[in-house]
Structure 1
Amino acid sequence: MYAIVDIETTGGHASANGITEVAILVHDGQEVIKQFKTLINPLKPIPIYVQALTGIDDEMVSTAPKFQDIAHKIYELLHDKVFVAHNVNFDFSFLHFHLAAAGFNLQTKKLCTVRLSRKIIPGLASYSLGRLCKEVGIEIQDRHRALGDALATAKLFSMLIEQDKDGHISKTLNQRSREQSLPPHLPKEDMDKLPSVPGIYYFHNSKSKVIYVGKAKNIRKRVASHFANNKPGRQKQDFLREIHHITFQECGTELMSLILEAVEIKRLWPAYNRSLKRFEYAYALYSFEDQNGYMRLVIDRKKKFSKPHYTFNGIAEGYNLIKSLIAGFNLCPKLCFVQRNNDPCVPIGEESCKGACEQLESVELYNKRVIMALNSLSSVLPGFLLIDEGRTFEEKSCLLIENGQFFGMGYITSDLAQADISLVKKYLTPYPENDYIRNMILNAALRFPHKVRDIYGN
């Protein structure tokens, strides 16, 4: 037995909106044998645009029963039947949420006439209820009212049963099939193509624009988890309605998928990604010559299109590095903007500063040490290859940290793992980096030292 359902509501998600009308038609697989309909007082104003769409206004529902007063009746009609609706997860999310608030736990199998229509009557321009019914010759009386839309859905469902030569309905109802949990516009074929390997996946909207990027150790399992619950909040419901297609990229390791996710979120700026959008370098190490010709080192805000010697997410990290260069190469704290007052340079008395700030040391000698300090970054900062599993047995994944920064990643053959770094680079795709990506790679190198090849021979 089937319960064909349509509801009218005050808004698009159950957790903050009420039901204004419900219609339930009991269908025995051939025809409707029982029907129930009622207006419901949502206990909140109905928005003007909803009134215009449905024709249901506040006055009409003012004397209607509250949902909790008829919850037992609705539950009795639904709990032992297959729940059928056009975009079933919308109607089900509302009734499940409000029944739960009234003390009833609705657990039923579901059928979506949108998804079934795409399979049984393929090739139509639109599968919205109005356009679909017009295409197949079903007249809708009282459009956007619960009973009118439910009766049209019942006629459509009878037609689908009659034309279902390939058994799509029975396959969908199979307990092992989770198709009804999928978003209404997402083809099951997209899910069937997903591999059980590490990688990233993209959710696309109707215009093929990427609206979400995710990473996974197991792409198929992770994507399925997005649809495992039907939370009644606006964000989840809007998210599910926008998903029309899924694409993916396989990665050799979970670490590579984490990096690629961060890169792609920054590149595509998907609407439904909240995290990883703000990871950018805030500070950088720059050098310049002052009016007297002395080279100055400075930690400053990272500037677009600039070429810093090194970048930092936090200013403290930058000053720790510049202080180590001052100590290691007898640089002047004043010329490096570490000592900013007008007092005499503190290290002059200790002879660690040679007096460049007072022009007691020649430009040539001081600048030579600054250049040596900058050149030393290649030895102070880490440089290594992180070699790990690839996508196939024949290849290895490879990530390159050079001068303390992430260069890129890709796939190489085993014999290239010990090759000259300039050759390995040809097989790697350069990627933008940030503190988040860099720290993930550095932490992985510490955890798995046997996977690391030091490119400086240290």
Structure 2
Amino acid sequence: MQFAIVDIETTGGFPQQHGITEIAIVLHNGTEVEGKYETLVNPQQPIPAFIANMTGITDTMTAAAPSFEEVAPYIYNLLHDRVFVAHNVNFDFSFVKYHLQQAGFQLNTPKLCTIRLSRKVFPGYRKYGLGHLCRELGIAIENRHRAGGDAMATSQVLDLVLQNNGLRLIKEMLKKENHSQLLPANLSEDQVVNLPKEPGVYYFHDVKGKVIYVGKAKNLKKRVLSHFSGLDTSKKRQEFLRTIHSVTCTVCPTEFIASLFESVEIKRLWPIQNKSQKRFEQLWGIYLFEDSRGYLRLAIDKKRKHLEPLASYGLLVDAHRALWKLVKQFALDPSLCFLDQNSPAVLPDVTEYNQQVKDSIAWLHSQKETFLIRDKQSCVLVEEGVFYGMGTITEDISITELNTLKSHLTHYPENEVIRSMIRNYTERYPAKVVRMG
């Protein structure tokens, strides 16, 4: 088995924005080192001071060095028919592949991470960064934080892996069906392997266990793995992958339940990496009050915490549309509903008008259906037009007695996304809707 052990130094953490300042490639035939290539590279951008201090590579040193485009043909020839090996391989591979691509070369070689290898072959160490691991294994690193020194140290780690019956493990990790090479360095392979292939909601956690992303899936294992496939080298994605330290999940009976629960959890946890559904929802309501002249009046206002509207809407235009419908259907006065600023020449009779308003309210309430969405053993309850909650119910549980049914469901807060999903689902699958009362 032919290996190319690679280490690079860069101007930053993201291939699309940063350049390579140095690259070293150690060629290994599975038994011994066959050769070594090392060169400084002109990144064609300034090297930040803190990186220059850490690596010792300065702008002056790289000014006369070749650009990556100049050395790309030679680098590609060294790498393209070997296993690409690095400590935290996704970092080095993403940079090298991206910059080779910019130079016109497509690198599609298998890759191998010595961090993941070491965790399996040498379990029990507190940390597996190159410096910590080499101290544990008794490997002396010359020129730490320089490509040549780190690449040679990584090749010695690979030697020790091979000497400890690691070849079988390497072959296993290189199988196409093995996904471990796709995973972020900090995420345990076992956590992903043991994920169920069922619908549900998954959570990515940071190093402190805090949830940083919530997603839903039809197949949890497949969806989680899809986050790590491909080679998106953007800063946003690379930063996201770097912060993932663990994954947990909640299995749901159906994909629809998973979609609803995802929305509930995003609103509850407010994860830093989720972008959709993270906005303040200004709800609008139609309210009833009696004025000083005794008229019952309908008005649109922002939904208040301690005031219950007759009906609520996610958009102001929807509230206006609904109120105008009541005005036309029940011959209400637009000015008494604050829809027309011009006062009428003659006000309607108070008693007759108030009865019209009461009739409109009764009709409005009649439109608030109570129904269930049943799919397999899952149940979603909408009570008088408002999402109540969901859960799993068996056939022996009565669905005609509302209070009994509610005792077997979990109550969740409603939001505009959930309302929209339920509306779309009931229109698409009317046969799964069970109306009550």
- TM-score, normalised to structure 1, is 0.89
**Pairwise CA distance, 1:307:** 2.9
- Structure 1 residues 166 and 248: alpha-carbon distance in aligned structure 2, compared to 1, 3 A threshold: farther
Higher alpha-carbon deviation: 443-452 or 70-79: 443-452
Q: Take 1:59 and 1:43, find their aligned partners in 2: how far apart are those partners? A: 12
| Residues paired across the two proteins, number | 436
Q: Is 1:239 aligned with 2:220?
A: no
- Aligned ranges 1:98-247 → 2 under 5 Å: 98-164=99-165, 167-247=168-248
**Pairwise CA distance, 1:40:** 0.2
- Aligned ranges 1:360-399 → 2 under 5 Å: 360-361=349-350, 370-371=357-358, 373-389=360-376, 396-399=377-380
Residue by residue over 1:365-394, the C-alpha shift from the partner in whole angstroms, topping out at 9 and shown as x without a partner, is 7656545543443312332111112xxxxx
**Pairwise CA distance, 1:215:** 1.1
- In structure 2, the residue matched to 1:72 is 73
**Pairwise CA distance, 1:232:** 1.3
Q: Is 1:337 aligned with 2:324?
A: no
**Pairwise CA distance, 1:209:** 1.1
- In structure 2, the residue matched to 1:2 is 3
Structure 1: tracts of 5 or more residues without a match: 349-354, 390-395
Contact 2:398-2:404 at 8 Å conserved across structures: no
Residue by residue over 1:68-118, the C-alpha shift from the partner in whole angstroms, topping out at 9 and shown as x without a partner, is 111111111111111110110110011101111111111111110111122
Of residues 400, 412, 426, the one that matches 2:381 is: 400
Q: What's the secondary structure of 2:336's corresponding residue?
A: coil
Matching residue's letter, 1:195: P
- Structure 1 residues 295 and 150: alpha-carbon distance in aligned structure 2, compared to 1, 3 A threshold: same
Q: Take 1:256 and 1:401, find their aligned partners in 2: how far apart are those partners? A: 14
Q: Take 2:166 and 2:27, find their aligned partners in 1: how far apart are those partners? A: 23
Residue by residue over 1:223-282, the C-alpha shift from the partner in whole angstroms, topping out at 9 and shown as x without a partner, is 111111121111111111111111111112211111111121121111221112126243
Q: Take 2:423 and 2:396, find their aligned partners in 1: how far apart are those partners? A: 24
Contact 1:213-1:261 at 8 Å conserved across structures: yes
- In structure 2, the residue matched to 1:452 is 433
Q: What's the secondary structure of 1:161's corresponding residue?
A: helix
Residue by residue over 1:393-442, the C-alpha shift from the partner in whole angstroms, topping out at 9 and shown as x without a partner, is xxx11111222221111111124364212211111112222232112212
- Structure 1 residues 88 and 441: alpha-carbon distance in aligned structure 2, compared to 1, 3 A threshold: same
- Structure 1 residues 296 and 135: alpha-carbon distance in aligned structure 2, compared to 1, 3 A threshold: farther
Higher alpha-carbon deviation: 8-17 or 322-331: 322-331
Structure 2: tracts of 5 or more residues without a match: none
Contact 1:377-1:403 at 8 Å conserved across structures: no
Query: What is the percentage of aligned positions where both structures have the same residue?
Result: 47
Contact 1:89-1:230 at 8 Å conserved across structures: no
**Pairwise CA distance, 1:339:** 2.1
Contact 1:387-1:417 at 8 Å conserved across structures: no
Higher alpha-carbon deviation: 66-75 or 428-437: 428-437
Q: What's the secondary structure of 2:397's corresponding residue?
A: helix
Q: Is 1:433 aligned with 2:414?
A: yes
Contact 2:314-2:416 at 8 Å conserved across structures: yes
Matching residue's letter, 1:438: R
Q: Take 1:39 and 1:407, find their aligned partners in 2: how far apart are those partners? A: 63
Matching residue's letter, 2:100: L
Contact 2:41-2:68 at 8 Å conserved across structures: yes
RMSD: 2.1
Matching residue's letter, 1:380: Q
Contact 2:286-2:299 at 8 Å conserved across structures: yes
Contact 1:203-1:243 at 8 Å conserved across structures: yes
Contact 1:7-1:19 at 8 Å conserved across structures: yes
Q: What's the secondary structure of 2:334's corresponding residue?
A: coil
Q: Is 1:410 aligned with 2:391?
A: yes
Q: What's the secondary structure of 2:76's corresponding residue?
A: helix
Q: What's the secondary structure of 2:390's corresponding residue?
A: strand
Q: Take 2:128 and 2:296, find their aligned partners in 1: how far apart are those partners? A: 68
Contact 1:115-1:185 at 8 Å conserved across structures: no
Contact 1:75-1:104 at 8 Å conserved across structures: yes
- Structure 1 residues 305 and 195: alpha-carbon distance in aligned structure 2, compared to 1, 3 A threshold: farther
Q: Take 1:300 and 1:50, find their aligned partners in 2: how far apart are those partners? A: 56
- In structure 1, the residue matched to 2:43 is 42
Q: Take 1:315 and 1:403, find their aligned partners in 2: how far apart are those partners? A: 21
Q: Is 1:52 aligned with 2:53?
A: yes
- Aligned ranges 1:87-102 → 2 under 5 Å: 87-102=88-103
- Structure 1 residues 344 and 138: alpha-carbon distance in aligned structure 2, compared to 1, 3 A threshold: farther
- Structure 1 residues 47 and 166: alpha-carbon distance in aligned structure 2, compared to 1, 3 A threshold: closer
Matching residue's letter, 1:233: S
Q: What's the secondary structure of 1:414's corresponding residue?
A: coil
**Pairwise CA distance, 1:208:** 1.0
Contact 1:281-1:435 at 8 Å conserved across structures: no
Q: Is 1:443 aligned with 2:432?
A: no
Q: What's the secondary structure of 1:416's corresponding residue?
A: coil
- Structure 1 residues 371 and 143: alpha-carbon distance in aligned structure 2, compared to 1, 3 A threshold: farther
- Structure 1 residues 293 and 115: alpha-carbon distance in aligned structure 2, compared to 1, 3 A threshold: farther
